[in-house]
Amino acid sequence: MVGCGGLTEIVDIMKRTGAEDLGDFYPIRPDCQADTPKPRFKPRAGKTLSERRWNAAFSEDGHLDIEKVLRRIQRGGVHPAIKGSVWEFVLGCFDPNSTYEERNQLRQCRREQYIRWKAECQHMVPVIGSGKLITTPIITDAGQPVIDSAINSCFSDKRSIQWMLALHQIGLDVVRTDRALAFYESEKNQAKLWDILAIYAWVDNDISYVQGMNDICSPMVILLENEADAFWCFERAMRRLRENFRCSASSMGVQTQLSTLSQVIKTVDPKLHQHLEDLDGGEYLFAFRMLMVLFRREFSFVDSLYLWELMWAMEYNPNIFSLYEKPIAESDKSAASMLNNKLLKQCGKFERNKVKTGCKDQQSALAVFLVASVLEAKNKRILKEAKGLDDVVQVTSLPPSLSSLVFNARAFCF
């Protein structure tokens, strides 16, 4: 069984043995191994960002050569031994131009802020932080505690009631998250994921919690042992993705991206687009899940992490740290403003191309072109085999190889 410090233990073992089997980093439960897809991603010497090259990218006082790091990630991803630390930079948790001391101070301030938020939540629901989680309702719509629930007080404010109404759904999703991984055999690790999602739902009360956030947060919990650090990494990832989860009775968050996807396919493959329209799939709702949770269900755990870091490196903008330090409501603006030639070199390939072409469309995310790449790679099977939208979902549920997916996506982008 892998505990909270499991990743560190595994890294130490692999350093001693020289093992490169990624299954050793993310152990699969014995009873799930037969049904778990084998990862296609393998660290490649000279291409994948290794621990040695990562450490060499820092100056003596801690400034990071982000341009060099992005090049390496875009060539071959990140070695699992350093994923958590690298993700904190590519997601905008830290400024590459900061020093070790500045980052330590910022990390401590964030940990203290997380503790304060957690205390607020614990005051209302004492189960939070106990190593346990909730999977049954604890409050009624009127704010009355459910019998034998985790709370004893009545609540009248709408924010508290709506938050507590979501807690059992978070718990139900958590126990279904990455069940094949040995890491989540531990209730303590499940509770850690539940705590983070519950506290995020309290902090971002505009979006709160929506199913699928558990799939985004889970890797952060595994990669970063400190709960507060994992929370902030997830919070930064949500700065990119939160609009995907904004749903109402008449619209859903990814609707604009689905519309962009429709236009892309209509342009590059009119025959395929017409076939999808004939199947009543012209709104591309079958691609909802791919965009919502960034291919977590289509790829193995290892491969989806590789795809994420590749996307984040290609979309990286050196302004995101300063932009994300603002409150959530103010951070939905473009990060592309005020980029001189020096900063432009620190952008990922996709972001640099957008800046050069003057594209300010925030919905033209790389994920849209990756989905388009999947559809284009499967176009012959879709045209031949798909008699309904269920067939389209089935055909696209097994995407092409990672290398061909990324190559085709680049062809769409550039």
39 DSSP assignment: P
Distance from C-alpha of 389 to C-alpha of 269, rounded to nearest angstrom: 18
pLDDT at 16: 37
Per-residue buried b or exposed e for 114-130, using 16+ beta carbons within 10 Å of the residue's own CB: beeebeebeebbebbbe
Instruction: Name the 3-class secondary structure at 278.
Output: helix
Other C-beta atoms lying within 10 Å of the C-beta of residue 33:
12
Sign of the C-alpha dihedral computed for residues 43, 47, 49 and 52 taken in this order? positive
pLDDT score at 252: 72
**Bridge partners, residue 15, by sequence:** none
Contact 191, 166 (CB under 8 A): no
What are the 10-residue block averages of pLDDT along the chain, 414 residues in total? 40 38 82 87 88 97 96 93 97 96 97 98 95 94 82 84 95 97 96 98 94 96 97 96 80 83 93 94 88 89 93 92 75 55 84 78 74 90 92 82 65 57
DSSP per-residue codes, 79-131:
-GGGHHHHHHHHTTSS-TTS-HHHHHHHHHHHHHHHHHHHHHHHHH-TTTTTT
Distance CA 209, CA 173 (A): 11
CA angle, residues 315, 316, 321, in degrees to nearest 5: 140
Residue-level pLDDT at 249: 60
* Partners of residue 144 on adjacent β-strands: none
CB-count burial class (<10 Å; 0-12, 13-18, 19+) for 311: buried
Tokens of 116: 């304060």
Residues of 185-210 as b/e, b for ≥16 C-beta within 10 angstroms? Answer: ebeebbbbbbbbbbbbbbbbeebbbb
What does the alpha-carbon distance between residue 236 and residue 201 come to, in Å, rounded to a whole number?
A: 14
* Residues 193 and 162 sit within 8 Å (Cβ to Cβ): no
Here the tokens at position 153 are 């007080």
Predicted pLDDT of residue 167: 96
Measure the CA–CA gap between 48 and 166, rounded to whole angstroms.
40
